[in-house]
Chain A
Amino acid sequence: MFYREAGQFYTTYAKDQGIFQLKQDKYGLWGLLFFAFLVVPIGLYLLVQGGVMAGTTKDYLYNSILLLLLVNCMAAMGLNILTGYCGQISLGTAAFMGVGAFTAYKFSTGMNYRVQKEDNAGELVSTLVPILPQIDNPIALILLAGAVTAIVGVLFGLPSLRIKGFYLAVATLAAQFFLVWCFSRVEWLYDYTSSSTIQIPLLKVLSFIETGTITFGMPDGSTKAVSVSGFLVAGSETLKVPDGAKTIVSASGFILTDFSKALSSPDASRAVTGETFRIYPVPETKYIFSLAIVVVFAFIMKNLVRGRIGRAWMAIRDMDIAAQLIGIRPLATKLLAFAVSSFFCGVAGAMLLIFYLGALEGAEAFNINESFSILFMVIIGGLGSITGSFLGAAFITLTPIILINVQPAISDVFQDKALVEHIQFMVFGALIILFLIMEPLGLSRLWQIAKEKLRQWPFPY
């Protein structure tokens, strides 16, 4: 009744070509954005303030669900461009994400290379020499990560001119295995650490804005404030404790400090020891930044796929011969799809490192199972649909977490922990098959059907 096109006309083609055909859709999206950007953080904050929700529950929601979900949405969008819109199946998504993550890492640490020299005692002395200034702006890092990944993606997309279908899918595994091998073998990539792990250093944005204050109590009873500037999104920043400070009086702003818990723990009156303290990003900052990135890229993707580039991709996907005969260059079009898709995946990988994990081991974080799970998201969500990318990412990310959280109920019945875990796997596998049988076109198709039903509701005839 409320959701129908009656009475909505467009008088210009420009308007008719807008993203939304219906005003209701447009308002719906604005509502959703409002919810995600404002209602979620403020609501959670109020819930915690009101004592309804534990602070750690809020952390749990952000750190292990929402951030991961956003990263997965980004990666699913990336793969959907390639597989859903351009019809090229790829099993190398995780590796491309890895390229993004390592690019972000290298730029954030100044592109070090190693110089090894023998000193007088015959010991090997190695020093890291930076060749670029360190970049501490996450946005710049993410864009660089996307750009480099796009180039790598194009290289691995070259065989797609000759190889098609599942043959191409398996061939993209070459990228997967080769790149992951590089992540654990090319020492330069991980700054020559002994274990091939990487950790993102301090990153912050808008460092000219004051975002928080920590107030220290001095021996004479007065207070001294230390102000914190910029929004931290990754790593931690070390600051000096004012000379002679005795206690911490309060901490406020977009920060978490080493002291934030000392304040509330039973021995809160404990004196400050040491000369420095460290501040950490709050999950809200990370969430808002990643959400903004995902929204911006979703907008870009929507624009690309509804324009000439998207049409060329879909033409190649639907019938590549006919597409060539109307003048679409197959190689250029496919490579552009590989480039854009890899750009998105690279951004997702950089987000994974910067916002979600912070430190990771390349070969483990970007292994083949990740590639599969992203392909899952795209297919369960619906090929060739942006909404589908989001729905699929949500399904694949959230289902296991929901299953884990209903686990205590099952655990009481079965003592065997492994059995509970196995049941979870079986349920997950069965759900996937069930979904494919019920709606092979994915969740986005279900969503569409629901909308069509809603258009007619409550008078279907």
Chain B
Amino acid sequence: MRLKGLTLGLAAAVAATGITAPAVQAEETQFFPFFTYRTGPYAPNGIPSANGMVDYMNYVNLKWAGVGGVKLVWEECETGYNTKKGVECYERTKGKGTTVVFPYSTGITYKLIPNAARDKISILTVGYGRTDASDGRVFPWTFTTPTTYWSQASAFIKYIGAQEGGMDKLKGKKIALIYHNSAYGKEPIRTLNLLERKFGYKLTTLAVNHPGQEQKATWLQIRRDRPDWILLWGWGVMNQVSIKEATNIGFKMDRMIGVWWSGAEQDVVPTGDAAKGYKAGTFHAAGRDFPLFKDIKKVVYDAGKGLPGGEKFIGQVLWNRGVVNSIFATEAMATAQKQYGVKRVNGDQMRWGLENLHITAERWAELGLKGFMQPIKNTCADHEGNGPVLIQQWDGKKWNIVSDFITPMREVVRPLIEKSAAAYAKKQGITPRTCS
């Protein structure tokens, strides 16, 4: 009790944390930090993603003068895919009025999740991060829109089943998972194991250590086990080496499916012809033949306002994904603006906007991306947005979509997510909120 008097002052300082930061922000701008990695082992993949995010925001400013009249400002912060640098980025940009962050690294995502509610900063992880965080009751501040690794794994099994001529044909088939030995790579294993019990295929998991330059042992085992399908959960240089090794041992490339982070131009082009026929998951269409992308080229690059050397990335898979990332952010912001009738949105409002994000097919068409993605709709309990998965195939020149939108097995994945989230809540002493 005696201590309390002494500490009251500190408490006031804490309260001040909230006051000062927004005050210095000019009213008509909305700030976004971009955690990017243009250096380090994963830079080849980081650069197009970062460019996509920046280019779209730039485009919105140039074309529409911002969102709802609020100009977008952003700051890139280099993380090098390193958690400590990510923490530094987060803390440094926090004071500039951050409402939502895109960590672009599994490690940074995990580190930031416990902070999100405290700082009133949402975490939007487009196609990566912590899968069970899509349970909005336990993780109100984390968004895994449009879909997650677990969903994707189930969609892959669905796709394989379809290719084999029915889910019942999966019985006795051999599927090998080659994965990056990290939190990211291990995400699908639990789902695949569960489905293994359900459909009776046989799963072999093979881990590859970072960076994955040397995979001889892995592919020797593939040669021995002769799986019918290979799922590749790789990242960085590992992807190229895997694709090359697969060709080297004469594996049929159209039976090898990569996760969406293993299916970019950067992964296949350096392998030459080896990757022809290789498939990969994605949650958005491929290519640059969309009105929006043509417009971005016109408005941003032709006007000389783009990033140096950035034009060549337009339409690439990772660049497209970066654009999707920014679209989610701006759409959520617009949603929040409408709901609260404000111009610049704060953390609470941005969170509401993300939670009530609803991008209909019409809206996609309006954005100039007709058929690019399926409608996305988040709810209080479900932050995954119910996005379906596509399969694309590399023809030696470009990626082509070769499947319809595959709806993940929600009935399998969702209970898994809820169970995992509940376990987390229990361990961390969190009372899940009620969504009704």
Contact = CB atoms under 8 A, between A and B. Distances in A.
| Touch A–B, Cβ below 8 Å | yes
Contact of A282 (B8, B10, B189): B10
A422 B78 CA distance: 11
A48 B1 CA distance: 25
A367 B11 CA distance: 37
A437 B106 CA distance: 39
Contacts of B82: 364
> Binding site of A, secondary structure by majority: helix, strand, loop or mixed?
mixed
Interface string A77-112: 000000000000000000000000000000001000
A59 B431 contact: no
B189 to A, nearest CB: 7
Contacts of A266: 342, 346
Contact of B107 (A213, A235, A364, A405): A364
B223 interface: no
Given A56-B21, A58-B17, A278-B117, A365 B95 contact: no
A256 B38 contact: no
A275 B20 contact: no
Contact of A360 (B76, B78, B110, B423): B110
Most B CB within 10 A of own CB, among A49, A237, A357, A361: A361
Given A196-B186, A258-B118, A55 B431 contact: no
Contact of A60 (B92, B107, B197): B92
Interface string B181-204: 111101101100000010000000
B269 interface: no
B181 to A, nearest CB: 6
Given A45-B10, A195-B183, A359 B110 contact: yes
Number of contact residues on A: which range applies?
Answer: 35 or more
B303 interface: no
B106 A361 contact: yes
Nearest to B21: A56
Interface stretch (B65-73, B83-91, B159-167, B240-248): B83-91
Given A195-B130, A195-B183, A195-B186, A59 B17 contact: yes
Given A55-B19, A194-B186, A252-B11, A202 B78 contact: no
9 contacts: A199-B114, A202-B428, A256-B14, A282-B14, A357-B84, A358-B111, A361-B106, A364-B107, A418-B39
Contacts of A254: 7, 10-11
Contacts of A360: 83, 107, 110-111
Given A54-B24, A209-B3, A211-B3, A48 B88 contact: no
Contacts of B186: 184, 194-196
Nearest to B131: A194
Given A60-B95, A261-B119, 8 more contacts: A194-B132, A195-B130, A201-B429, A212-B4, A252-B7, A253-B10, A357-B87, A367-B210
Given A54-B21, A416-B308, A359 B347 contact: no
Contact of A251 (B11, B39, B110, B428): B11
B111 A357 contact: yes
Contacts of B298: none
A253 B95 CA distance: 22
Contacts of B120: 261
A357 to B, nearest CB: 5
Interface in B1-53: 1, 3-4, 7-22, 24, 36, 38-39, 43, 47, 50
Contacts of A274: 433
Given A109-B427, A359-B110, A359-B111, A252 B8 contact: yes
Given A55-B21, A415-B307, A416-B308, A64 B91 contact: yes
Nearest to A422: B39
B18 A55 contact: yes
A51 interface: yes
A264 interface: yes
B113 A212 contact: no
Given A194-B189, A195-B186, A238 B429 contact: yes
Contacts of B18: 55, 260-261, 263-265
Contacts of B190: 194
Most A CB within 10 A of own CB, among B18, B95, B182, B340: B18
B76 A194 contact: no
Contacts of B90: 64
B110 to A, nearest CB: 5
A238 B433 CA distance: 12
Interface string B240-269: 000000000000000000000000000000
A431 B177 CA distance: 44
A195 B91 contact: no
B220 interface: no
Given A238-B431, A258-B118, A49 B3 contact: no
A329 interface: no
B183 A196 contact: yes
Given A60-B95, A194-B420, A363 B15 contact: no
A260 B14 contact: yes
Contacts of A425: 39
A260 B15 contact: yes
Nearest to B113: A359
Contacts of A422: 39
A415 B304 CA distance: 12
Nearest to A365: B83
Most A CB within 10 A of own CB, among B24, B38, B184, B420: B38
B312 to A, nearest CB: 14
A336 to B, nearest CB: 31
Contacts of A421: 38-39, 78, 80
A195 B190 CA distance: 9
B118 A415 contact: no
A366 B350 CA distance: 34
B131 to A, nearest CB: 7
A358 B114 contact: yes
Interface in A400-456: 401, 404-405, 415-418, 421-422, 425
B259 to A, nearest CB: 14
